[in-house]
Amino acid sequence: MSVQEQLDELRDRAQGELDDAADLAAALAWEKAHLGPKGDVTLFLRGVGSLPTEDRPLAGRAGNALKIVLADLFEQRRATLAAHDLEQRLAADAIDVTLPGRPPSLGAEHPVSQMIDELSDIFALLGFQTVFGPEVETARYNFDLLNIPADHPARDVWDTIHVESPGELVLRTHTSPMQARVMETTQPPVRVVVPGRVYRYEAQDASHEWMFHQLEGLAVDRHITMADLKGTLTELARQLFGPSRRIRFRCDFFPFVEPGVDFAVDCALCNGKGCRVCKGTGWLEMGGAGMVHPRVLEGVGYDPARYSGFAFGLGIERLAMMRSGVDDVRAFAGNDLRFLRQFARAA
Ligand code: YSA
- Asked whether residue 54 is domain-assigned, the answer is yes
Told to judge if 112 belongs to the known catalytic residues of this protein, a careful annotator would answer no
Q: Do 34 and 145 belong together in one domain?
A: no
Query: Does residue 5 or residue 225 have the better pLDDT?
Result: 225
Question: What residues are in contact with ligand 1 under a 6 Å CB criterion?
Answer: 174, 176, 200, 202, 208-209, 212, 214, 254, 256-257, 260, 285-290, 311-313, 315, 317-318, 329
Query: Does residue 96 or residue 292 have the better pLDDT?
Result: 292
Residue with the nearest Cα to atom 18 of ligand 1? 287
CATH of the domain at 167: 3.30.930.10
Using the 3D structure, point to which of 60, 92, 124 is the last residue of a domain.
92
Please say if the pLDDT value at position 346 is more than 90: no
What DSSP letter does each residue of 169-202 carry, written as one string?
A: EEE-SSSTHHHHHHHHH-PSSEEEEEEEEEE---
**Residue 77: Cβ within 10 Å count:** 19
Please say if the pLDDT value at position 166 is more than 80: no
Q: Do 167 and 85 belong together in one domain?
A: no
Residues 239/210, Cβ–Cβ less than 8 Å? no
What is the 174 CA–ligand 1 centroid distance (Å)?
A: 7
Q: How far is residue 217's CA from residue 235's CA, in Å, rounded to a whole number?
A: 14
**Residue 206: Cβ within 10 Å count:** 18
Segments in 36-55 forming alpha helices (H): 40-46
- Asked whether residue 247 is domain-assigned, the answer is yes
Residue from 142, 143, 176 to probe ligand 1 pocket by mutation (most atoms less than 8 Å from CB): 176
Q: How far is residue 153's CA from residue 145's CA, in Å, rounded to a whole number?
A: 15
- Closest by CA to 315, choosing from 199, 179, 216, 201, is 216
- Asked whether residue 152 is domain-assigned, the answer is yes
Please say if the pLDDT value at position 156 is more than 80: no
Mean pLDDT of 226-230: 98
Please say if the pLDDT value at position 153 is more than 60: yes
Told to judge if 192 belongs to the known catalytic residues of this protein, a careful annotator would answer no
- How many folded domains does the chain comprise? 2
pLDDT band with cut points at 50, 70 and 90 for residue 39 = very high
Residues 260/310, Cβ–Cβ less than 8 Å? no
- Asked whether residue 104 is domain-assigned, the answer is no
